[in-house]
Amino acid sequence: MSLPILVAVPADVRAFENYRWHATPDTYLKALTRVAGAIPVIVPALADEFDVAALLSRVDGLMMTGSASNVHPDRYGVEPSTAHEPFDPARDRLTEALIHGAIEIDLPLLCICRGHQELNVALGGTLATEIQDSEGRMDHRAIKHEEQRERFAVRHPVSVAAGGALAAIVGDDEIRVNSLHRQAIDRLAPGLAVEATAEDGTIEAVSVEGAKGFALGVQWHPEYWAESDAASAAIFHAFAAACRAYASARADAPRG
């Protein structure tokens, strides 16, 4: 019987009850356990305290989550403003190291929402903030509602790039997604390919060019409906398959 796959998940830093917490929303963790069949490993945002490369050598995949915080604009050469807030610099330091480390060893990589933006910044791209205020742009922000199911409801279509990495998972047809964001990719990073766009031109999915395995970023939230939405489930199943293949190849590799 094969061992379950381990997937690293970066933590956000939060202040609560006089403590500094390193935490991750359970919707991401449940998507990994229930749909991908993986064991999540929450990684504290303490990148200066441990060897990130050593951690990545012990897991079978890396999933970058969404968050209420944004990548600090200093990391992509833009003057910070209140429109860019809130920030989580400890997470920024961790996720940049995780992304570069994962790409270097071809570790399966799934980047969601903030993670999608982190991937673009880590590879040299930039972000635009408050995109709903730009001419011709849709309002991609979550609606105000007490029920999470309503906030995360599938609301708009994206066009999937024919023949791309995402199309191989969900097909070339248009799919409907649940994007909840006010920031988006501005300048696409070198080494990323566009996999899906919204009707207003917003880049909704990317892949790492030349990656030997799974390396995908999506601006929407497949984790929320991974148990019921076909496209969301397909993304997690494909990620899980890539993680299992990675684990199997590593187990079969000769030991020096």
Cis peptide before 86 (omega within 30 of 0): yes
Residue 187: Cβ within 10 Å count: 12
Contact 219, 205 (CB under 8 A): yes
Residue bearing tokens 């995908």: 216
Query: From the candidates 181, 204, 223, 243, which is the catalytic residue?
Result: 223
The amino acid present at 221, given as its one-letter code, is H
Tokens of 192: 């990323």
Q: How far is CA 97 from the centre of its chain?
A: 14
Contact 91, 13 (CB under 8 A): yes
Please indicate whether residue 223 is annotated as part of the active site: yes
Query: From the candidates 72, 113, 118, 204, which is the catalytic residue?
Result: 113
CA distance 170 to 18: 44
Q: Which distant-in-sequence residues (6+ apart) come within 8 Å of 254 by Cβ? A: none
Query: From the candidates 22, 84, 181, 221, which is the catalytic residue?
Result: 221
Give just the sign of the alpha carbon dihedral 158, 190, 141, 7.
positive
Please indicate whether residue 22 is annotated as part of the active site: no
Residue 250 vs residues 219, 254, 255: alpha-carbon distances, Å: 30, 9, 10
User: What burial class does residue 14 get, using C-beta atoms within 10 Å of its C-beta: 0-12 exposed, 13-18 middle, 19+ buried?
Assistant: middle
Please indicate whether residue 209 is annotated as part of the active site: no
CA distance 13 to 58: 23
Tokens of 128: 């635009």
Enzyme catalytic residues: 113, 221, 223
